[in-house]
Amino acid sequence: MRSIAAALLVVWSMIVAAPAGAAVNVSGNFIESDGYGRIVLTWPGGVPAHVEAITSGVLVVKFDQPFTTDLSEFMRQMPDYVAMARQDADGRTLRLALKFDYWLNVQQAESSLYLDLLPSSWAGKAPSLPADVLARIAAASAAKKKAAEDAKLVKDLGIVDPGAPAPALRVRVARHDGMTRLVFDWNQPVLYSVVQQEGAATVTFDRSAKVALAPIRVDPPPYLETISALERDGRLSIVMKLKPGVAVTDFREDLGVVLDLKPRAETEASEPVAEEPRVRADHEKSAAAVPAAQAHTPKRIVPTSEAPPAVEKHEAAETVKPEPEVPIAAAAPDAAGQMAPLKVSASAVDGRTDIIFPWTVPAGAAVFVRAGTLWVVFDRTAPLDLSALLRNASKQVGQPRSVEIENGVALAFPLGRSHVLVSAAESGTEWRVSVGETLAGTGRSINVERSWRDTGEGVVGFDMKDARRIVQIHDPVVGDVLEVATARAPVQSLQTPRSFVEFQALQTAQGLAIVQIADDLNVVAGPESVAVTRQSGLTLSADNSETPSQASFSYAGFMDFADWRGKKDYTEERKDLEAKIAMADAEDVAAARVTYARFLVANQLGPEAVAQLRQAEQADGGLSSDPGFAALKGVAKVLAHRYAEAVTDLSASTLAMDPNAAIWRGLARVELGQMAAARRDFDLASPAISSLEPQLAARVKLKAARAAVAMGNLQAARGYMRLLPDRSGDHAADAEVLLVKAQIAAALDQTDKAAVLYDDAIAQGVRRFAVQARLEKALMLNRAGKLNDKLLLAELEKLRMMWRGDDLELRILSALSERQLATGDVVAGLKTMRVATVNFPNSDDARAMGARMPDIFADYFINDSASKLPPIQALSLYYDFQDLTPIGRRGDDLLRHLAEHLASLDLLPQAETLLRYQIEQRLHSGVAKAQVAARLAGLYLLDRKPQDALNIIRATAQNGLPEDIDEQRRLIEARSLGSLKKFDLALDLLSEIPGPIAQVLRADILWEAQRWGDAGAAAEVVLAGAGGARPLTDDERFDVMRSAIAYAMAEDEEGLSRLRTQFGSRMAATSDASAFAVVTDAIEKNGVAFRELASRIASVNTMERFVNSLKKDDRVSELDGTAVAANE
């Protein structure tokens, strides 16, 4: 006999859906005419569900069904549109690389999908379907309408349609607390009546249909003892025997009839006493007609940059009263009466993009660029119509987002390039904003003037004429507040940005844009100027010259180390400052500590300075809002190597644009490995670096060079390095200089030069830089093919033990895990990645590594790599990384593959545990749970646990399962009942299941029940397809022998005679010839030979045969078009 291990691979296929059907051949038709291209994909039998989008110049069309098509035809017949065509491995997705930018228009008609590629300059309506197609659709619609009218007429006249489907009935059971519900689902309207007597109830329908009630009899719900069906005179009656004290209520639901079984006391309390007779005449009514399906809504043209919207599924939704829709034109006008939508458009002129705002009433505007975004602000309101703008969008300007402001309109356009020129112009009431390489005009320049009131408060004025309004905008990207001054023509612009302690004035193409730094900033528009002030006045220098932003160093972040060190020697100065703290009054102690902290910072004593500043802040809570104090605290934390805290302090809004604060912020970010942010900080800080002391300036330039190398800006890195000496006498500084030079050489593919420089850096003996140099040298040599993976892994393992605790360790762990994964050692790679994520929980790189781990873990099991491990080791690996199991389908696939691997090695209890966990903890969909439960039940049967198999089948029972899944589960339930020796229940359940599997299982159960006559006849039924002269298969010979023994045990000579006649000659030609002769020649049940043969037949593993028969049936169960149970 075949071993149980071989059968274990089969049990998993009892319910698992088979692969999707064969790919369908899809024909393509291609048209290039009238300025656009059209692709027509025609499916035999209708177009399946599909999604399509153009992303990054690639048209992606995905169907729910695999297909084949001639890919070469796309390029041959559409050479001006398609550059390359390919199909994904799943056979469902088509990808076309397009030669230019297009919009996509999708239409579906008949059995074809029409994909129109429209150029970006397309204007007007989308192309329509071909005339012949439209004519056929119109004719089909007319025919459908006429058929509906004819059907209505037939119904009104009471004519019976001879072609109507035969009546069909399905019974559903729902178990609830205190109630059992039976739902009789008909496929057509029926009349019914209910008669209830003590302990019984009968529901009679006006027609008959075949109904399966055995599953209910086998596992009756509460309040019901048994149920059966009777047919008389073309009417079907369902007879129910009830538990004592149960009453029945009934009602209609669509085409179904619902019966609720409840305890009588509860029923009587909840509804009035029914009048006699109990036959309810009001039920003699036909069911309401099913409403017609809603018409399909055609697709509209969408911009190619927009992905198809995701469809969210909700299990339940609250009923929300919809708000009344307001047409665009009905929006409330402002004071000037702008009623119609503002139809924004764009056009390309001489290499620039013009954005046109055709106001019908005068509107003031402000135009400026900030953080790669073009802002256009108006001081009037109007509904926006961006459809024309979307059709004519260019690469210079992206699709805008609308930012809500009070009594105005603001649009933010992402710019395609960081360095573009912007201008604005007004003609009549129409505004035009131009973006390009050249300026259409700059307008009048706005000048800046400082002044002081008599009381000494500083005021900054901008001579902007006729400013109309000050509009406040909350920038959602940067997160701060802008005060924007608008005006009409002539255009006025601030052509050079200005920066002050409490605010910044951005460069503009029209109007003013003020960035608040102080919270109480006040911006006022007058007829001749715009004034900026605050309640206590602005902090202004006495110099009234106009100073461009980033050229003045009178910032809160400026560190005057030379002055802070004092004029005495270090020891005397420190004693004096400590004495002043000891002698200071309570109101002066905070200032004394700040002065002392400045001295400590100037002498590079960061930890001591942090302690003094903490005590100063405790003494004077107002220091926390002082930007100079925040900057000093941040610098102290940089010196104390508390880099993350330093970045937080130095990133306050009052320091965000301070070049001096940017110096220290950049230093901290380099140490944190945040090279992109550090590079931006050093760019901002570049004008202030020259004002630093030489040693600090050298340090800053070195860190800036490191950031530039990391970001691939080698030119900037070399520029910084040229300003540094080769040798400074400081081993740490010299090692870092050599390291950066080596990095530059490696980036230029100068491998030999880089290797020498790395060795020189190692030779300096500074551990931190030596480890980094060894790491980068090993990786470089490996990329160059001069160091194999085995030696690289050995080097990384050494470096891992040499350095701990910062981003360098994270880099080592990252490199080590990548090489371990690349060499196939997934277990070691996952362990290394776990160490990295645990040790560096706040690192973005570590979090990204952690995000990859579930996919790596799942792939390892799904791709059967884990099958190469010993089973216990594979199970241990799963439990070690169980928290990495992905949610959804991939996680379920992982568990299924691991369970299959364990079961194939006879580790049934472990496989059962995994599937039970999947059912209890992961799966929520009833269908998915039903599938996995059937697999688990099959394992229980093979593990000789029929009661567990029966329990899991019943615990996951659900109405409305697909027929194939439902039938498989009923077969397993019958097999479980037979193994529990509940033979009558098993046979009752099988009586309503058609097919050869049920026939074989019925023969097995009758054999186990020792009902010999019925068992022989059942086995003979199984042999009905074994006629002819062909040789018998092994299974057929087994059935012949078992039938013969059963007939012999039943002393049925007639049955034995039939077997001899039908199979005697063919059995004589097999190895079972003598055995067949023994059991069929004469009935001698007590003979030794007969007993031995009967014992041998009885010992056959019929459970394995049952599982194999399910596999041969090869039934498919599809969940959303897939073949694997999953929790969708």
CATH of the domain at 598: 1.25.40.10
In a domain, 825, yes or no: no
What is the C-alpha to C-alpha distance for residues 1106 and 1002, in angstroms, rounded to an integer? Answer: 11
What's the whole-number mean pLDDT along residues 507-523?
89
What's the whole-number mean pLDDT along residues 221-229?
91
Q: Average pLDDT of the chain?
A: 79
C-beta of residue 522 within 8 angstroms of C-beta of residue 534 = yes
In a domain, 932, yes or no: no
More confident residue, 78 or 1089: 78
**Who's near 510: CB < 8 A, 6+ residues apart?**
365, 366, 367, 368, 424, 443, 487, 491, 492, 493
426 and 570 within one domain: no
Over pLDDT 90: what percentage of the chain?
A: 18
Above 70 in pLDDT, residue 763? yes
175 and 121 within one domain: no
Above 50 in pLDDT, residue 320? no
Above 50 in pLDDT, residue 289? no
**What's the pLDDT score for residue 668?**
93
**Least reliable range by pLDDT among 385-389, 879-883, 996-1000, 1026-1030:** 879-883
* Other residues' Cβ atoms within 10 Å of the Cβ of residue 740: 24
What tens digit of pLDDT does each residue of 782-820 get? 999 999 988 989 999 898 898 887 788 888 999 998 998
In a domain, 843, yes or no: no
Helix (H, G, I), strand (E, B) or coil at 729: coil
Maximum CA extent, the chain: 134
The full 3-state SS of 799-863, as one line of letters, equals HHHHCCCCHHHHHHHHHHHHHHHHCCCHHHHHHHHHHHHHHCCCCHHHHHHHHHHHHHHHHHHHC
**Least reliable range by pLDDT among 286-295, 386-395, 880-889, 908-917:** 286-295
569 and 707 within one domain: yes
Above 50 in pLDDT, residue 552? no
Domain ends where: 674, 691, 724?
724
Domain that holds residue 355: 345-534
C-beta of residue 877 within 8 angstroms of C-beta of residue 894 = no
CA distances from 976 to 217, 937, 940, 980, 985 (A): 16, 9, 9, 6, 10
**What's the pLDDT score for residue 330?**
33
**What's the pLDDT score for residue 936?**
85
361 and 497 within one domain: yes
In a domain, 227, yes or no: yes
Domain ends where: 499, 534, 569?
534
**Least reliable range by pLDDT among 613-617, 656-660, 991-995, 1123-1127:** 1123-1127
- Report which of 688, 367, 647 is spatially closest to residue 499, judged by C-alpha positions: 688
Amino acid, res. 1123: A
Confidence of residue 186 (pLDDT cuts 50, 70, 90): very high
1068 and 1115 within one domain: yes
What tens digit of pLDDT does each residue of 1015-1046 get? 888 888 888 877 777 888 888 888 888 888 88
What is the C-alpha to C-alpha distance for residues 232 and 235, in angstroms, rounded to an integer? Answer: 5
Over pLDDT 70: what percentage of the chain?
A: 81
What tens digit of pLDDT does each residue of 1039-1084 get? 888 888 888 888 888 888 888 888 888 888 888 787 787 777 765 5
C-beta of residue 248 within 8 angstroms of C-beta of residue 242 = yes
- Report which of 841, 804, 843, 799 is spatially closest to residue 819, judged by C-alpha positions: 799
Confidence of residue 270 (pLDDT cuts 50, 70, 90): very low
**What's the pLDDT score for residue 321?**
38
What tens digit of pLDDT does each residue of 452-508 get? 776 667 888 999 988 999 999 988 877 788 999 999 989 999 888 888 888 899 989
What tens digit of pLDDT does each residue of 96-137 get? 988 888 888 899 988 899 999 888 778 778 888 888 788 888
What is the C-alpha to C-alpha distance for residues 876 and 60, in angstroms, rounded to an integer? Answer: 42
- Report which of 61, 71, 117 is spatially closest to residue 92, judged by C-alpha positions: 61
In a domain, 372, yes or no: yes
What's the whole-number mean pLDDT along residues 234-260?
91
**Who's near 996: CB < 8 A, 6+ residues apart?**
1022, 1025, 1109, 1113
Specify burial of residue 277 (Cβ count, 10 A radius: 0-12, 13-18, 19+). Answer: exposed
**What's the pLDDT score for residue 357?**
92
- First CA to last CA across the chain, in angstroms? 41
**What's the pLDDT score for residue 365?**
95
Helix (H) or strand (E) holding 234: none
In a domain, 520, yes or no: yes
More confident residue, 608 or 1124: 608
**What's the pLDDT score for residue 54?**
87
Phi–psi pair at 995, nearest 5 degrees: 105, 165
**What's the pLDDT score for residue 1080?**
75
Look up residue 329 and give its DSSP letter.
G
**What's the pLDDT score for residue 853?**
81
What tens digit of pLDDT does each residue of 936-980 get? 888 888 888 899 988 988 888 888 788 888 888 888 889 889 889
| 895-928 burial: b if 16+ Cβ within 10 Å, else e | bbbbbbbbbbbbbbebbbebbbebbeebbeeebb
Please give the model's pTM, rounded to 2 decimal places: 0.45
Query: What number of H helices and E strands is found in the chain?
Result: 37, 40
207 and 159 within one domain: no
More confident residue, 830 or 417: 830
What's the whole-number mean pLDDT along residues 901-914?
72
In a domain, 37, yes or no: yes
Confidence of residue 925 (pLDDT cuts 50, 70, 90): low
Confidence of residue 303 (pLDDT cuts 50, 70, 90): very low
Helix (H) or strand (E) holding 99: none
**Least reliable range by pLDDT among 617-626, 745-754, 1019-1028:** 1019-1028
CATH code of the domain containing 1020: 1.25.40
What is the C-alpha to C-alpha distance for residues 1019 and 1015, in angstroms, rounded to an integer? Answer: 6
CATH code of the domain containing 100: 2.60.40.3500
Domain ends where: 232, 254, 283?
283
Above 80 in pLDDT, residue 726? no
**What's the pLDDT score for residue 1091?**
62
**What's the pLDDT score for residue 1096?**
65
571 and 529 within one domain: no
What is the C-alpha to C-alpha distance for residues 851 and 128, in angstroms, rounded to an integer? Answer: 46
Number of domains in the chain: 6
Confidence of residue 329 (pLDDT cuts 50, 70, 90): very low
1114 and 996 within one domain: yes
116 and 231 within one domain: no
What is the C-alpha to C-alpha distance for residues 997 and 975, in angstroms, rounded to an integer? Answer: 11
In a domain, 863, yes or no: no
567 and 634 within one domain: yes
Amino acid, res. 308: P
CA distances from 266 to 247, 481, 503 (A): 9, 65, 75
706 and 671 within one domain: yes
253 and 156 within one domain: no
What is the C-alpha to C-alpha distance for residues 782 and 788, in angstroms, rounded to an integer? Answer: 6
